[in-house]
Structure 1
Amino acid sequence: MKPKDIALFFLAASSALSLAQNRNDPAPVPQSIDLVTAKKLVAAAEQTARAANAKVGIAVVDANGDVVLHERLDGATARGLASSEGKARAALLFGVPTKQVKDAALAGKPLEAHVTITPAGAHEITINQGGLPIIKDGKIIGGIGVGGSASSEDERFAQAGLDALEAK
């Protein structure tokens, strides 16, 4: 399966899950990440990205898959910005780092994952490395995604955001 086909498969699966959830439970999951928390995540990811002279987009989504905060560093491409949002949503949807999703898809192996059902919407998901779920008290409450540099660097910047939350 080609990477483009894999992305289309996951987009279709996400849309199907959203439609099924919308028919059964029209009430969205309550927002679980506030702006203060999102700012802390993004600030730490941004600081690490700037230290590496990276030009990236950084996105934080809540449990609904809605953007809480989206930041575009100077010089970041529009694709990097869209990718950061897609990675954050994919991490939320699957409940694992996006690298695990892509690796499983490319290997043609099933992925054991916690699937979060988000409200209906035509949101892009991106399974390239750089998206991480945000977990609090054992529950997935959102996702952070970084896009625009090498995928391993994107994940490193996202992880810096999560590390800042854990450093309370």
Structure 2
Amino acid sequence: MELTISRKSISAAAAYAAVGGAVANGRLLDKAAVAAVVDASGDLVALLRADGAFKASIGIAQDKAYTAAVFGLATDDLSNALIANPTLHQGIGQRPGVILFAGGLPIIVNGEVIGGIGVSGGTEEDDRACARAGLASLGLA
């Protein structure tokens, strides 16, 4: 029986590149975005708040990143997977730190979740696009 496991996690350098790419994409969309990257356990590694971004977007971006990392799914995909069971959807959605709308994506390398990125500051479509831009900054898309 193994007593330990090894788990990969996103590096700080990669996390900073991802939040930078996401916020830069927000500027292209004329949105003041906040981007957060968490590690595989959902703990914050990097956060970047564009000038003029809403303060509330800080927590929302971090919660989106957390949700994507710990469930291993895009936040809106998680919502869609749960929607057929309203009790489960509501119960999971009320957990602290869980967000069930678009803007959070898992960061996956070689089939393993190493973190999550979350973006807040625009529409769901804007936030999703910015999170994808963050992944593209890492060569993932």
Q: Normalising by the residue count of structure 1, what TM-score does the alignment of the two structures yield? A: 0.70
1:81 aligned to 2:58? Answer: yes
Q: CA deviation digits over 1:126-152, x for unaligned, max 9?
A: 121000000011100000000121011
What letter is aligned with 1:58?
A
Change (3 A) 1:131 1:28: farther
Q: Deviation at 1:105?
A: 3.5
What letter is aligned with 2:57?
G
1:162 aligned to 2:135? Answer: yes
Structure 1 vs Structure 2: percent identity of aligned residues? 36
2:9 to 32, 45, 62: 32
- The answer for unaligned runs of 5 or more in structure 1 is 1-24, 112-121
More helix by share: 1
Q: Deviation at 1:29?
A: 7.2
2:118 to 145, 151, 161: 145
Hey, what's the Cα distance between the residues in 2 that align with 1:107 and 1:75?
A: 38
Change (3 A) 1:107 1:65: same
In the other structure, the counterpart of 1:128 is 101
Hey, what's the Cα distance between the residues in 2 that align with 1:28 and 1:161?
A: 29
Would you identify which runs of 4 or more consecutive aligned residues in structure 1 move more than 6 Å? none
Q: Normalising by the residue count of structure 2, what TM-score does the alignment of the two structures yield? A: 0.82
Q: Deviation at 1:103?
A: 2.5
Change (3 A) 1:146 1:45: same
For the aligned residue pairs, the C-alpha RMSD in angstroms reads 2.6
- The answer for unaligned runs of 5 or more in structure 2 is 89-94
Hey, what's the Cα distance between the residues in 2 that align with 1:107 and 1:156?
A: 26
1:66 aligned to 2:43? Answer: yes
Q: Is the 8 A contact 1:28 1:64 kept in 2?
A: no
